[in-house]
Amino acid sequence: MDKSDIIASPNRLVWGGLLALALAAPALVGFDLYMIHVGITISFNVALATSLWMIWSLGVISFAHAGFMGIGAYASALVLTKLGLSMWYGLWIGAAVSALFAMLIAVPLMRTRAVYFFMASWAVGEVIKRNFAYFKSFFGGWDGIFDIKPPVLDLGFLQIDFANRIAYYYLALFFVSLTVWIIYRMNASRTGTIWWAIHENELLAQHTGINVFRQKVVCFTIACTLVGVTGALYAHYQTYISPKSFDIWKSEFALVHLIVGGLTTVGGPVAGAISLTMVDEALRATGYFRTIFFGVVLIASVLLLPGGLETVPARIRKLFNRNSQK
Amino acid sequence: MSDFLQMGLTGLSLGLMYALIAIGLTLIFGVMRIIQYAHGEMFMLGAFALYYWHAELGLPYWAGVAFSAGLIFCLGAVLQVVLFKPLQGKNILYSLAVSLGLVLIISGSGQLLFGTTTKGIPSAVSGGMLIGGAYLSYERIVISAVSIGLIIALWAFLRHSVTGFAIRAVAEDPQTAALQGIRTDRVHWIAFGIGSAMAAIAGCMMGTLLSIVPTMGFLATIKAFMIVIMGGLGSVIGALVGGLILGMIDSVITTTISGDIAIILSFVVIFLILVFRPSGLFGQNWD
């Protein structure tokens, strides 16, 4: 986990290129609606994986992450269906509710450590999901909430209806870029360094005067706020949510994206989420083979490419260096 | 009164079966420090092995249980050597990812090979008796007896046999154990095989009691993890106590209130246990 080389090589060119590609993507696929749907799914997965990676910078993985995405989604959806407020309010209310719950739950949750944290957070995620399912009259039970309308942006001279997929793609892209940028900046800041210090050695971090417990709660809350926004966006894109959308598998797939992509830089989860979502969509037509292939890809990438996709550039560089020395 | 006795008896037999799955998992974690997320799939494969042996081929029941246990023992040992050995000493997340991949592969191919319709295994014994107004089928008695017998056998094996000593030594401190001349690799695949075989036997028992489907492994994994976390990872006693607690919650709350509340409540109980005892009831502090 050498953090110094993350700061030393910002790879601005790569990030800029990725953003340009993402901006041009709808035109490149000829405004094909299915491909744009894939693009939006990729955006959500990137946001989920990067914010999970932010919790990983403390040295733990939260299985409650999809649950907090669900809190954001349900808050935003209920604000629309019960109060009639559009997504522009729902986004922030979803984020606030998600942050509030995250902060309340983080206080007891952060007492547990290492492998017990996975399981305690998993219990939190399950309880969140089961509560959505159990309180039928309020959350709609297993049937979920229907008819969550996407918003309309009225600029006076211009009206953008986000029921249009291309418009929604750019909206999702905007928020995802914002999420990744916030996480990147936080990680490069002093606070990020403190989190990595806790990751490396909690006891030592405490002895250098870091309030470990407070830092943990703060980091968890920020990550859950970001994923709450993603959840609200997800709800208004799908227009339908149910407890099943936010179960343990979503958190697990985010973890898989993280591991396949790499764990040391923010580029890891981004690369992992983009590539694996594409693989998953490409295999969609194959039915049961889809899950089998996905499992094979996962095991193969863990065993054959330790360190994940983020180590690929370094590996290629090493290959060329070795050749030139000969 | 008889209602409570009925619930208690059901909870006890359910809890013992849960404990059987969970002890295999806790053994695997304790020895190798890996998360075996595909443990429930071993349970599922064990049940299907018995189904094909007993219901399709018509071969004797108890031989089928032994066959299923042996088969899953070999499968577990092979999986350990091929997939989990390279991950030894790495972050626990990698073993989680690999076993997650295994879950996808096994349950996906299970649905492909076995079909998605529910199947049942005819039970070995029938009939039942009344105890103080509560009905107890002989099947449940046999299942509970098998569970108790296996748990005692495992305990005796770990306490008194040479291999059992080796397993405990590796669980305690792998490096020192290796220095004493214990072949840790061999201990690893043996422990993995035994853990998986216990899940398979639990699958055989569950298969006669309920119906079997290729997707049932996931629920078993969830239950096993809940129990193991409650009792403390790596602790056999903890798994037994955790299994009984979960069995009782499942039985009593499902009958008196509802199944959804039983699940929510058991997760809340686990969360509270972890908050007040961050390493589970009988666990050590793993880092």
Q: Tens digits of per-residue pLDDT, A18-67?
A: 888 888 888 788 778 888 889 999 999 999 999 999 999 988 888 889 99
Q: Chain centroid to CA A13: how far?
A: 23
Distance (Å, whole) CA B243 – CA A321: 57
Cβ distance of A302 and B285 shorter than 8 Å: no
B38, closest residue in chain A (CA to CA) = A295
Spell out where chain B has E strands: 128-131, 134-137
- How much is the pLDDT for B74? 94
- Note the pLDDT tens digit of each residue in B20-44: 899 989 888 888 888 888 899 999 9
Chain A residues close to B101, C-beta within 8 Å: 294-299, 302
End-to-end C-alpha distance for chain A, whole angstroms: 31
Cβ distance of B98 and A108 shorter than 8 Å: no
Residues of A at the B interface (Cβ-Cβ below 8 Å)? 61, 108-109, 111-116, 118-120, 122-124, 126-127, 130-131, 133-134, 252, 255-256, 259-260, 263, 288-292, 294-299, 302-303, 306
> Pick the residue with more confidence: B3 or B23?
B23
- Dihedral sign for Cα atoms in the order A256, A260, A261, A264: positive
Tell me what the mean pLDDT of segment A119-125 comes to. 85
- How much is the pLDDT for B1? 64
Residue A161 φ then ψ, to 5° = -95, 120
B218 close contact with A: CB closer than 8 A: no
* pLDDT band of B287, cuts 50, 70, 90: very low
* pLDDT band of A2, cuts 50, 70, 90: very low
Tell me which amino acid residue A242 is. S
Cβ distance of A130 and B264 shorter than 8 Å: yes
- How much is the pLDDT for B72? 93
B112 close contact with A: CB closer than 8 A: yes
* pLDDT band of A9, cuts 50, 70, 90: low
**Tokens representing B83?**
């997939």
* pLDDT band of B210, cuts 50, 70, 90: confident
Percent of chain A clearing pLDDT 90 (strictly above): 23
Tell me what the mean pLDDT of segment B49-59 comes to. 85
Tell me which amino acid residue B234 is. G
Cβ distance of B105 and A296 shorter than 8 Å: yes
The label of the residue with tokens 């809190």 reads A71
- How much is the pLDDT for B10? 83
Tell me which amino acid residue B62 is. W
DSSP-assigned beta bridge partners for residue B137 = B128
> Pick the residue with more confidence: A157 or A270?
A270
ipTM > 0.90 (yes/no): no
- How much is the pLDDT for B285? 56
Tell me what the mean pLDDT of segment A213-238 comes to. 92
Tell me what the mean pLDDT of segment B137-160 comes to. 87
* pLDDT band of A1, cuts 50, 70, 90: very low
Chain A residues close to B271, C-beta within 8 Å: 108, 120, 123-124, 127
Pick from A65-74, A126-135, A185-194, B120-129: least confident: B120-129
Let me know: does A262 contact A311? Beta carbons within 8 Å: yes
Q: In Å, how far is A225's CA from the nearest CA of chain B?
A: 22
Helix axes B184-209 and B39-50, enclosed angle (nearest 10): 60
Helix residue spans in A110-240 (DSSP H): 114-134, 136-139, 165-188, 190-200, 202-207, 212-238
DSSP-assigned beta bridge partners for residue B135 = B130
**Tokens representing B210?**
């309920």
Average pLDDT, chain B: 85
Distance (Å, whole) CA A252 – CA A118: 11
- How much is the pLDDT for B200? 92
Distance (Å, whole) CA B30 – CA B281: 15
B282 close contact with A: CB closer than 8 A: no
Is the confidence at residue A321, as pLDDT, over 90? Answer: no
Is the confidence at residue A136, as pLDDT, over 90? Answer: no
Pick from A1-5, B57-61, B98-102, B110-114: least confident: A1-5
DSSP labels, A23-76: HHHHHHTTT-HHHHHHHHHHHHHHHHHHHHHHHHTTT---TTHHHHHHHHHHHH
End-to-end C-alpha distance for chain B, whole angstroms: 46
> Pick the residue with more confidence: B134 or B264?
B264
Distance (Å, whole) CA A52 – CA A99: 15
The label of the residue with tokens 């996962």 reads A298
- How much is the pLDDT for B284? 64
The H or E element spanning position A154 is strand A152-154
Rounded to a whole number of angstroms, the CA Rg of chain A reads 20
Is the confidence at residue A112, as pLDDT, over 60? Answer: yes
Range with top average pLDDT, A51-55, A253-257, B61-65, B85-89: A51-55
Is the confidence at residue B60, as pLDDT, over 90? Answer: no
- How much is the pLDDT for A53? 92
**Tokens representing B30?**
């304790």
Is the confidence at residue A226, as pLDDT, over 80? Answer: yes
- How much is the pLDDT for A8? 45
Tell me what the mean pLDDT of segment A209-221 comes to. 91
Chain B residues close to A122, C-beta within 8 Å: 225
